[in-house]
Amino acid sequence: MCMMIPITYICHWVIKFIENFIFAEIVFKFLRNGGLAVFFRTLLSGSVVSVIVLLIYCVFSGDLSSIGSLFTSNWWDHTARCVLIEDWWKYCGIYAAVYTSYYARFVSQWSYISNLYNQIKNADISLCMSCGQNCDCDQHVQLTNCKSCAVEKLNGWKAGFIEDAETLHLVTKPLFAGVIYTWLTHNDSVAKMYKEYHSEAYAKSDDADKRYQKLLSDLRKNLKMDV
C-alpha cells in the first residue's frame, strides 16, 4: 500500500510532463489557439523531443560528447558552441514535423468549429422562419416567444458549441467571442445549459457558476469591453 502512493504520484507527474511539455499544452495557459500558439508549442515540443532523442542516441552510441556540449556551463567557449550547432542542425526535421503536425491540427480544429457555427446559424434562421408569424426574432436572431421543442434543442446545441470552443482553446478568438458572449448574456437557456453541461463534463467539485463568470470575464477582456 505504501508503494502504491509513490507510484501513483510518479505516474501522475509523468503524464503531466508529457501533456504539458512534450505536447506543449502548457502554452494554452497563456495563449489561445492560433499561429502564435503553434509557434511556441513547436519550440517547446521540438526542443524537448530533440533533447530526449539526443540523450537516447548518446547513451546507445556511447558517445557522450554531445551531452557534454549541451550541458556545458562554458557557453562562451567557441569549440563547445560549434560542436553543439554541428549536432543540433540534424534535429531540424523534428521541429519541421512538430510544426506541420500542430498546424494541421489547428486548421482541422478551426474548420470544425467554423462549420459547426455555420450549421447552428443556418438552423437558427431556418427555425425563426418556420416557427410562425407570431414568433418574433430579436436583433440577435433569437426566438423570443416560440415554445417549440426545437428551440431548446438549438439552445443545447449552442451550449455544446461553447464547450467545444473552450476545449479547443478557441473560445476567445475574436471571430467567435462576440457571438458566444451574446448567446450567454442574451439567452438564459443557453447560459443555463452551458453551466449544466459543464458540471456533468467535469468533476463534481467543479463550480459551474465560477466557470461561467470566468468565461464571461475572459470574453469581455478579449472583446475589450468595460468590466
pLDDT in tens, 23-72: 888 999 999 999 999 999 999 999 899 888 878 877 777 766 666 666 66
Q: Are the C-beta atoms of residues 95 and 46 closer than 8 Å to each other?
A: yes
Q: Facing residues of 26 across strands?
A: none
Query: What integer is the mean pLDDT of 194-198?
Result: 80
Angle at 177 between CA 123 and CA 218, to 5 degrees: 140
Q: Calculate what percentage of the chain has a pLDDT beyond 90.
A: 34
**Is 122 domain-assigned?**
no
pLDDT for residue 59: 79
pLDDT at 116: 95
pLDDT band per the 50, 70, 90 thresholds, residue 83:
low
End position of a domain, from candidates 51, 75, 110: 110
Residue 181 has pLDDT above 90, yes or no: yes
Paired with 90 in beta bridges are none
Q: What does the block give as the cell for 89?
A: 542542425
Of 78, 110, 142, the one marking the end of a domain is: 110
Q: What value does the mean pLDDT take over residues 186-193?
A: 88
Residue 120 included in any domain: no
Answer whether residue 211 shows pLDDT above 90: no
Task: Report pLDDT for 19.
Answer: 84
pLDDT of residue 63: 67
Same domain, 53 and 83: yes
106 shares a domain with 6? yes
> Measured at the alpha carbon of residue 194, what is the angle toward residues 191 and 197, in degrees to the nearest 5?
150
Spell out the residues 6+ positions from residue 180 whose beta carbon is closer than 8 angstroms to its own: 161, 162, 165, 171, 219
What sign does the CA torsion over 16, 19, 21, 24 have? negative
- H or E segment at 53? helix 35-61
Higher-pLDDT residue of 226, 116: 116
* pLDDT digits 0-9 by tens, 102-152: 999 999 999 999 999 999 988 888 777 766 555 555 545 455 455 567 788
pLDDT band at 9; cut points 50, 70, 90: confident
What is the spatial distance between Cα 209 and Cα 196, in angstroms, rounded to a whole number?
10
pTM value surpassing 0.85: no
Domain span at residue 170 reads 131-227
Taking residues 152-171, report their average pLDDT.
91
Same domain? 48 vs 95? yes
Give, in order, the Cα–Cα distances in Å from 198 to each of 6, 75, 106, 165, 183: 32, 49, 23, 13, 16
Q: Which of 66-80, 140-154, 173-187 is the most confident on average? A: 173-187
Q: Tell me, yes or no, whether 94 and 27 share the same domain.
A: yes
Same domain, 61 and 145: no
Q: Look at residue 1 in the predicted model and tell me its pLDDT.
A: 45
User: How many folded domains does the chain comprise?
Assistant: 2
pLDDT in the model for residue 65: 62
User: Are residue 178 and residue 73 in the same domain, yes or no?
Assistant: no
When pLDDT is averaged across residues 186-211 and rounded to a whole number, the result is 75
pLDDT at residue 196, as a whole number: 82
Q: 31 lies in a domain?
A: yes
Kindly state whether residues 67 and 143 are assigned to the same domain: no
